[in-house]
Amino acid sequence: MPDRKILVLPLLVAVPALAEPLAVLPRSAEEAARVAEVTAPATGFGRPEPYEGNPAGASTVPALAGGKAFSKPSAGMDPVRELDFMVGKALFEKLWVASPSSTKASDGLGPLFNARSCLQCHIGDGRGHPPSEPGAHGVSMFLRVSIPAEQASNGIEGWIATAPDPAYGFQLQDQGNRGIPAEYRMQVTYEEVPVALSGGETASLRRPAYAAEELGFGPLHPDAMLSPRVAPPMIGLGLLEAIPAEDILAHADPDDLDGDGISGRASFVPSRETGRPELGRFGWKAGSPSVRQQSAEALSNDIGISSPLFPHHWGDCTEAQEICRGAPDGGDPGQGGHEIDAGGLDLVAFYARNLGVPARRGLDAPETLRGKQVFHETGCISCHVPKFVTARLEDQPEQSFQLIWPYGDLLLHDMGEGLADHRPEGRATGREWKTPPLWGIGLAQQVSPDAAFLHDGRARSLLEAILWHGGEAAPQRDAVIAMPKPDRDALIAFLESL
């Protein structure tokens, strides 16, 4: 077996820099005061707050029926930019093919991959789900893998060192081009766990167990750590990217100095675009700092497509996988030697930034308003922060200076042993996850009926997702278990209105 690989990141600064890769215009003192006023938590629940029905501000799109609710471009986009959106959409939905191929614009798939297009993972531009039957290809789910590293030089304080599995890299791919064996077959089994609720109700949670079987390149390292992931929804990513870093950090309390039991931590990660550590915002553990880098990483790891940010044509193949590294590739001299060039990557990122957030539904219904009050009074807003105002951006009018309602702080939180994957990533421990935004969650199963919740899709409903909360969120979970059934139903009605 090859020697253990050590993750070495060429970053020299010792303290994270608040780099802003976007063209940000500074706020005036008057603007900062107004932002503080409009983002203050709600104090009354008799009616909706001003602008609450438009969670993405002026870029909010109508809430469509059917499976296209997450696929509309940001509202108000001018025709030229909407054309760029449609070209990016075509790239997002493109079915890549193996090299060599006569379709030069679409070759480069693999050699190992989890899906042939971005849309196969992000079903309807929404979230993925576990395999529908034992042994099935989980094209919207995969396993991350790594081993502890003995040392690392990365320049980021608090970084938890990990290394790729010597044979399989950082991600397991369950499909391969002709002549190249897939790395594994995922097996998922569930144990039903009853949870008693107030009012004589009983909920049932499914506790998953994962196994990597039919390994195509020998055994995993004895210390291999596996982490299952389903694809997260795509809506509103550009708006999350446009939240000023200092506004996110204002909610961080790593030492729980206020004593509320909530200790959100910021994730700082290496940026392949700026060469500096930046605030992580994307991925289940906030492992990527920008939409563009996240898009390039997914193209590389999930589909095997090289780009200027991830230039290896073989994607995540390791040195031990000689058959993979020696396979034909789709590198094109006309695209800088990559399988997708900088312009194509920019279009994919533009599309991802501008998938519109649907408008709220029924937000003035009495049950929804009561559910919002329960959400606030139970303390859910400690992590699921309701409101932010985005930065003023010179070249992104759809995301510029918008009051948005994502219901997420983008910080890392200890979610307890029940949700732990025991696999550190960057600054995140094996018990920590980024608080994801909740906007659009009520439409998730309309967009994709098989969509499931939490990082591994174990939760079949919003109530199940709440009941899996632990760690910092254990008091909120216990309050939901104990509250009167009408309040619990109202809470779910509020979430379904988002």
Residue 468 near residue 454, CB atoms below 8 Å? yes
The per-residue pLDDT for 152 is: 54
Domain ranges of the chain: 24-497
pLDDT at res. 139: 60
Q: What is the pLDDT of residue 22?
A: 78
Instruction: Give the per-residue pLDDT at 17.
Output: 36
Tokens 């089994």, located at residue: 189
Among 84, 64, 70, 23, which Cα is nearest to 351's?
84
pLDDT at 104: 75
Nearest to 306 by CA among 146, 84, 107: 107
Residues 6+ away with beta carbon under 8 Å from 16: 156, 157, 266, 268, 277, 278, 279
Query: What pLDDT shows up at residue 160?
Result: 83
Strand-strand pairing, 202-213 and 432-434: unpaired
Per-residue tens of pLDDT for the chain, all 498 residues: 333 333 333 332 333 333 446 778 889 999 999 999 999 999 999 999 999 999 999 999 999 999 999 999 999 999 999 999 999 999 999 999 999 988 778 899 999 999 999 999 999 999 999 887 655 555 689 999 999 987 555 667 788 878 999 999 999 999 999 999 999 999 999 999 999 999 999 999 999 999 999 999 999 999 999 999 999 999 999 999 999 999 999 999 999 999 999 999 999 999 999 999 999 999 999 999 999 999 999 999 999 999 999 999 999 999 999 999 999 999 988 889 999 999 999 999 999 999 999 999 999 999 999 999 999 999 999 999 999 999 999 999 999 999 999 999 999 999 999 999 999 999 999 999 999 999 999 999 999 999 999 999 999 999 999 999 999 999 999 999 999 999 999 999 999 999
Give the containing element (helix H, strand E) for 441. Answer: none
How long a stretch of residues is the chain? 498
One-letter amino acid for residue 182 of the chain: A
Which of the 8 DSSP states describes residue 314?
T
The SS3 assignment for 190 reads strand
Beta bridge partners of 414: 432
Place of tokens 């100095």: 257
Question: How much is the pLDDT for 23?
Answer: 77
